[in-house]
Amino acid sequence: MALGRRGRERTIDYWPGFVDALSTLLLVFIFLLSVFMITQFFLTQEMTGKDNVLQRLQAQIRQLTELLSLERATSQTADGEISALRASLAALESERDRLRTQAGSIPAAPDTSREPALARELDMQKEAAARALQQIDILNQQILALRRQMAALEEALNVSEKRDRESQTKIADLGRRLNVALAQRVQELSRYRSEFFGRLREILGNRPDIRVVGDRFVFQSEVFFDRGSATPRPEALAALDQLASAILELEKQIPPDINWALRVDGHTDSRPISTPQFPSNWELSAARAIAVVQYLISKGVQPQHLIAAGFGEYQPIDPATSEDALSRNRRIELKLTER
């Protein structure tokens, strides 16, 4: 009995320690998941703020451009009015000089006490001289008023030109800020493109008939289609399913405020084709691109994120005419771009 009791006392219960370890692991996982969700939330808020700033910058540029056009129209009107006032001023000054000459040519009054006819003529000349002097005074007042009006218009023109320069400076500054904002959006899209292509490379593996060329992911046409056909081969559906899965994951990652699209480009080789279904390589390349797009849509990819384009044989990547070059030119390209 004593030996049995000691054996039971030596038995160790590991279950509480295992439960504690499992609880700790679960708490760590929940903590990491919370950090990830908070990071995603703040990233979305920051990108939304960038988009709002971009819209405000574009609205300010449009407003300043309209104000600049209005200021320039006002300046042109002021220039025309100043030219017209200068012409009127020159005419008034000429008329004033003529009247002064006419008034100065009237002779001094002679002794006409014995000649009533001469006296009446002299009175008439004096009245004419008085009217001329009166007109000269009126013209002087008009000339002074015109000069004041010209000075006011020139001052307004200077103010308008100053505003014009300030508006141009503001537009240039807003243009620089807009370019910076657009560059940031391009960088964001480039980052998603790199992640997307990396994901495709990881899913599809390092196959020689699938490669990345610049900003495009290139599939040889034989991966999906038989020669001269635009119907996906049954053995190609697995690759298309993997492609659809990668695009669906991409749709979840890119924020909704970024207007992006995946362009599917069809290309053929330079050998002509003429069949009832495809009279030329244009129709064949376009039909292949459309077939890929339609299959991706059937797998749940949003249609607004897809573009189908056919280029025929007119954009080869290898100008040679060998079988290898022709094979490289028969291809389907994927390009992530902005709409």
DSSP string, 76-143: HHHHHHHHHHHHHHHHHHHHHHHHHHHHHTSPPP---TT-HHHHHHHHHHHHHHHHHHHHHHHHHHHH
Highest mean pLDDT among 36-40, 109-113, 153-157: 153-157
Can you list the domains of the chain with their CATH numbers? 46-186 (1.10.287.620), 206-338 (3.30.1330.60)
Q: Give the pLDDT confidence score for residue 3 in this predicted structure.
A: 45
Q: Is the pLDDT of residue 45 over 90?
A: no
Q: Give the pLDDT confidence score for residue 101 in this predicted structure.
A: 73
The mean pLDDT value of the chain amounts to 78
Q: Which of 21-25, 253-257, 297-301 has the lowest mean pLDDT?
A: 21-25
Give the model confidence (pLDDT) of 273-323 as tens digits.
989 999 999 999 999 999 999 999 999 999 999 999 999 999 999 999 999
- The Cα–Cα gap between 56 and 198 comes to 35
- pLDDT tier at 250 (50, 70, 90 boundaries)? confident
Q: Give the pLDDT confidence score for residue 71 in this predicted structure.
A: 67
- pLDDT tier at 181 (50, 70, 90 boundaries)? low
Residues listed for the chain:
339
DSSP string, 233-284: PGGGHHHHHHHHHHHHHHHHHS-TTS-EEEEEEEE--SS----SS-SSHHHH
- The Cα–Cα gap between 92 and 140 comes to 8
Strand 210-213 to 216-220 pairing: antiparallel
Two structure tokens written together for 73: 């129209």
CA atoms within 13 A on the CB side of 10: 6
- The Cα–Cα gap between 140 and 154 comes to 21
Give the model confidence (pLDDT) of 112-151 as tens digits.
455 576 667 667 767 777 777 777 778 778 777 877 877 8
- The Cα–Cα gap between 323 and 248 comes to 36
Long-range Cβ contacts of 84-89 (<8 Å, 24+ apart): 85/146, 85/149, 85/150, 85/153, 86/150, 88/146, 89/143, 89/146, 89/147, 89/150
pTM of the full structure = 0.48
Q: Is the pLDDT of residue 109 over 70?
A: no
Rounded percentage of the chain residues whose pLDDT exceeds 70: 73
Task: State mean pLDDT over 54-74.
Answer: 72
Contact 280, 312 (CB under 8 A): yes
- pLDDT tier at 1 (50, 70, 90 boundaries)? very low
Give the model confidence (pLDDT) of 184-212 as tens digits.
565 666 677 677 676 766 766 667 777 87
Q: Give the pLDDT confidence score for residue 64 in this predicted structure.
A: 72
Q: Give the pLDDT confidence score for residue 10 in this predicted structure.
A: 55
Q: Which of 68-82, 130-144, 181-195, 230-244 has the lowest mean pLDDT?
A: 181-195
